[in-house]
Structure formats: C-alpha cells, structure tokens
Chains A and B, each alone.
Chain A
C-alpha cells in the first residue's frame, strides 16, 4: 500500500486563510454594528422628544414646541397617492415586459429605459417635476405636484417587481389555463397575476418605504410648508412630509428646538420603516410557505 497522499497548504497560506476568514467575519459584524449604532443613536436622540403631544401638535414656524401632526398625514397621503398613480402604470409596463414583449429588441430597449429611470437621481426627477408640474402646469408647490413626481420614482421599481413576479409563475399553470380555453388576457388577469400578487405586494411595500423616505423630490415639488387645517385632503395645498420637515428644520435654522424636532422626526421615521421592514419579512415568509 502506498502511503496516503496528503497535501497540506504551506504554513503561510494556512495562516493567511485563517486571518482573512476572521477578517471577513469581522467585516460582516462591523456592518451589523454600524446598523445597531445607527438605529440606537437615532432612537436615543429622538426618544426624549417623542410623546403624544409631539405627534399630535401642529408645527411651529418660529417658536419651540412644535409637533409633526400634519407631516405624518402628508407623508402617508403622498405615499398613497403616488402609489395609486404608479401602480397601474407599473403593473401595465411589467405585464407587457413579462407577457408580451418576447425576447427581442423591444424588451431590451424597454428594460434599458426602466433601468435608466430607476438609476436617475431623485434630484433630477425633482428638477423635471419642478419644470413640468410646478411651473408649466401651474400646480405650484402642492400635494399633486409632489404625488405625480414621486410616482416617477416608484414606476421603475413596481415595473421590475411585476415583471420578475410574473416570470416566476410556473408555465404549467398558464398552459392549464390556455388548455381550459382561457384567452391570454384572462390567463394574465385571473391566473398569473393572482399567483404573482404576493411578490408584487412585497415590492409595493418596499416601494412605499422608499417613497416615505424620499425628500429631494418633495422639497422641490410638494414644498416645505403645510396647510393650517387638518386633515387637509385638497390636492392643491403644499404638503411637507416628515422627511422634508426633518431636512428643512435643520437647514433652515429658525426654530430654537430644531435639533430636538429633527431627532424626534428621525426616530418616528425609523420606527415606521422598521415596522414596514418587518411586514415585508412576514409577507416573504408567507410566500415561501405557500410555494413550498
């Protein structure tokens, strides 16, 4: 019997291997630490400010002690409106790309456009919204200018997530539908979309979170003021959101308690996003369980 051939890497290689693997663990743990410090610091700074009064008072323009009631409302209202605008368009475009465009040049071109729109900086979308909706359409700084421009941010994300979810629908399911005599449209609307719905919903929640946090677009389209009545559902009034408020009070500097208000607003936003994130996770788990 020949002796077992055994090869061990050189000592230096083994040491490097161990060191680098430890370093990669360290790097990963560092990211977890960054996130923990980040969320911890924001919540810690904001905690003393957070109380029912802060959440339910109107904001002040010159004095200390203002709340963020209308900003909370505006944030939710603008997110809902922008989703209502972008959902049909994004669904339509996603359906076209997944079900009709085939594999050719049209699909490639559409995908290029979607990618470009998705990568367009929000400040550029803000400039576009400012020219077209605020100035040319004469809508000035208002909820409607903000909602429409914000929709531009959502459209590529919803399109992409619709396309991906539809492509994930098993072929057999569609073939069975055709076999039963359904038309293409019926198959899409009654078989493919319901199957893809949970995936699309997850994407929608993520989109809502992104729109909720967006500020650059809204500073230049929805404005940095808010209506004095509450709740104000009119589309023509300016609608400062939480994120815009957070930015505006720190950069404007007329409020004596700008720092506290910013910290409190940031904490509220973090809490909202944590909740959204959790719901995405639950949705995801639900999908996995169903498809298993």
Chain B
C-alpha cells in the first residue's frame, strides 16, 4: 500500500478541481443500491418551492393589505388621480374632535379616543382577572378544575362577536339601565368594555397559564422553603418572574380588543359627537357620564359608515385611512410582543 499516503496528500487539490472531482466520483461504485425514479427526484428537488410560495403569499398579503389601504387612505390627504373631492390636512383630521362629514368636518380624534378608552377599560378588567385566573389554573387548581377552566375559556373564545353583541343588546343593556341608571340608555364605554373584557380574557388566561407553567418549579419550592405562603410565593416570586410573558399576554389581548368591531358596534351607541355630548350634559358625575355616554370607536365607525359612502369620496377615503391606522397599530403591537420576547430570552 505505498500509494495510499500519496493519494491522500493529493486529495485537497483534487477536490477543488471539478474535472478531477468527477473522476473521483466515477471511481466510486456505479449504481447505488436504490434510486428513486426521475419523477420522485424532481418532485423532491422542486416541491419546497411550492411550499415556499405559500409562505411568500402570506408575506405578500401583509404588504398587499398595507399597500391597498394606504393607496385609498392617502387619497383623503393628497390629490390622487380621479380624486376631485376635498383634500384634508393632517391637522384637521387628527387634531379635531369635530366629525360631521356632511358639512366637511373630518376630525377623527373622537374615534381614536373612543378606541383607546374602551380598550383601556377592557384591559383594566381583563388583564388582572386573566393573569390571576392563569395563576389559578397553573398553580392552585386541582386537575378537574384545570380541565374545566380550559374548556370554559375555549368556549368563551369560540363565541362569535355578534353573539356577544346580541347578548349585550338584549341582556346587559336593559339590566344595567334598569338597575343603575333609572332607565336612561346604558350604551357607552362601560358595557362595551365589560363585554370586550370577556371576549379577550381567554387570550390572556391561556397565555399567562403557559407563562406560569413554564416557570421552573424550583422558584416556587425555594420560596416556600424559605417559609412563604403559597400566595406570597405567587405574588412576590412567580408573578415577577413571569412578567415579560404576562406583558406579552396583555399586549396580545390589547390587540384583540382594539380590532374588535361588531360586538362593540352593537352596544356602544354609535355617537361620533360623544366628546361634545359628554361636555354638555351635567346631570351626572363626570365618571358616570364618561362610562354611559353613547360613543364610537375607529372600528364601530367603519362598520357604521362604510356602506353609506361613495367610493372615491373624501369621506370614504378617510374611512380607509382609519382602517390603515388600525392595521399600523396591529403591526406595532406585534413588534412590541417581539421586543418583549427578546427581553425574555436575554
């Protein structure tokens, strides 16, 4: 075997030279034990492109939604082709509370404020309730209760928003106005937020249950070994430890809440002039007026007015701009959860 070291020494230059390489390959046994048919090999080589195309379609959709909403929404602020209607300035749209499209007033501040108010109120209920229920399911509930709670949350998340809406309309509104408001209509932020809270709580519960379940058991054991009660362990150790994920859960709940349209539209009262109305009336304390004045949000106003406006009008374009605003908020929310996720890993 005197030749062996030589050929080994020569191996590197061989590999870099294609002609030599094929020579080496051909010196291997000619026929592999098993070969797929030509069709199989082609399919295997190219099929991933098909799968990739499906993935790229999703990417294209994200861009497409942005493009088409922007193309229409921008029409309210810029003279685009075929747009002969009124051109608005950013100031009179985003900094005005006056919404009266028929007399050319297009301030969307009431809707932004409405969306933020109803979402904020809903989170005020849903975030603590959801996180505490999460800790209950993960750490305190016996097995059967865990299963039961999971099923309850599955059902709550599966109920369609119009059914939540009709429940609010037929059950909650009459009950609230009969019980507390001496029969004045109860439409407004309070009832909308309460219904919204029930709609988003399953999201927060399931994500925070996961968060608590993924914490190392040693945290809890260590805390209890130091003499803490279970609640002290939960409050001082587990909740702080799970905080980034709990925040993610809350932010995703926020995302669901801000985009919800139909359920709120059915109970909020759909009054674009709610800020003015709230200022004028004096018959109740300010907080009650805030909670029970018929109002409107970005989403409810879209549902309410989109069917009644002509395509290409300033009014119509501005509604698409409001949709764009919602979409940008969604993106922001997703990016925020990303940020939180990275914090968690660091």
Chains A and B bind each other = yes
Q: Give bound CA distance, A156 to B224, whole Å.
A: 42
| In the assembled complex, B242 has its CB within 8 A of some CB on chain A | no
**A173 located at the interface, meaning its Cβ lies under 8 Å from any Cβ of chain B in the complex:** no
In the complex, chain B residues whose CB is within 8 Å of the CB of A97: 55
Which of A53-61, A76-84, A214-222, A228-236 makes up part of the contact surface? A214-222
Contact of A92 among B51, B61, B149, B163 (CB under 8 A): B51
- Establish whether residues A120 and B65, one from each chain, have CB atoms under 8 Å apart when the complex forms: yes
Given contacts A24-B140, A215-B262, is CB(A185)–CB(B43) below 8 Å? yes
> In the assembled complex, which residues on chain B have CB atoms less than 8 Å from the CB atom of A212?
160
**19 A-B contacts (beta carbon < 8 Å):** A17-B230, A24-B135, A28-B133, A31-B156, A92-B54, A96-B51, A97-B55, A100-B51, A114-B58, A116-B331, A119-B252, A123-B261, A123-B323, A124-B65, A181-B36, A183-B36, A247-B262, A262-B170, A273-B158
A259 within 8 A of B: yes
Contacting pair A135 B311 (CB below 8 A): yes
Chain B hits for A155, CB < 8 A: 58, 61
A interface footprint on B57-86 (CB within 8 Å = 1, 0 otherwise) = 111011011001101100000000000000
Q: How far is the CB of A132 from chain B (nearest CB, A)?
A: 6
A237 and B32 alpha carbons, distance in the complex (Å): 58
The answer for the CA separation of A219 and B162 in the assembled complex, in Å, is: 12
With contacts A117-B61, A159-B58 taken as known, whether A220 is within 8 angstroms of B306 at the C-beta atoms is yes
A residues 115-170 touching B (CB-CB < 8 Å)? 115-117, 119-125, 127-128, 130-132, 135, 152, 155-156, 159
Residues of B close to A276: CB separation below 8 A? 158
Q: Is B186 an interface residue (CB 8 A)?
A: no
Q: Which residue, of A119, A124, A130, A215, has the highest number of chain B Cβ atoms within 10 A?
A: A124
Do residues B159 and A273 form an inter-chain contact, with CB atoms below 8 A? Answer: yes
B interface secondary structure, majority: helix
Q: Are B261 and A122 in contact (CB under 8 A)?
A: yes
Question: For B51, B55, B266, which residue has the most chain A Cβ atoms within 10 angstroms?
Answer: B55
Select which of A116, A132, A250 is within 8 A of B330 by beta carbon: A116
Complex-state Cα separation, A34 to B57, whole angstroms: 40
B259 touches A124 (CB 8 A): yes
* Contact of A41 with B163 in the complex, beta carbons under 8 Å: no
Binding site for A on B (CB under 8 A): 34, 36, 40-41, 43-44, 47-48, 50-55, 57-59, 61-62, 64-65, 68-69, 71-72, 129, 132-133, 135-137, 140-141, 145, 148-149, 151-156, 158-163, 165-167, 169-171, 198, 201, 227-232, 234-235, 252, 255-256, 258-262, 265-266, 299, 302-303, 306-307, 311, 320, 323, 326-327, 330-331, 333-334, 337-338
| Partner among B57, B69, B165 whose Cβ is within 8 Å of the Cβ of A93 | B57
Which residue on chain A has the smallest CB distance to residue B135?
A: A24
| Contact call B140/A21, Cβ cutoff below 8 A | yes
Given A27-B132, A96-B55, A128 contacting B68 (CB threshold 8 A): yes
Residue of A nearest to B60 (CB): A113
> Which residues in window 232-286 of A have CB below 8 A to B?
243-244, 246-247, 250-251, 259, 262-263, 266, 269-270, 273-274, 276-277, 280-281
The answer to whether the Cβ of A204 comes within 8 Å of any Cβ in the partner chain is no
B276 to chain A, nearest CB (A): 24
Contact B133 A27 (CB under 8 A): yes
Which of chain A's residues 17-47 have a Cβ closer than 8 Å to chain B?
17, 20-21, 24-25, 27-28, 31-32, 34-35, 38-39, 41-42, 45
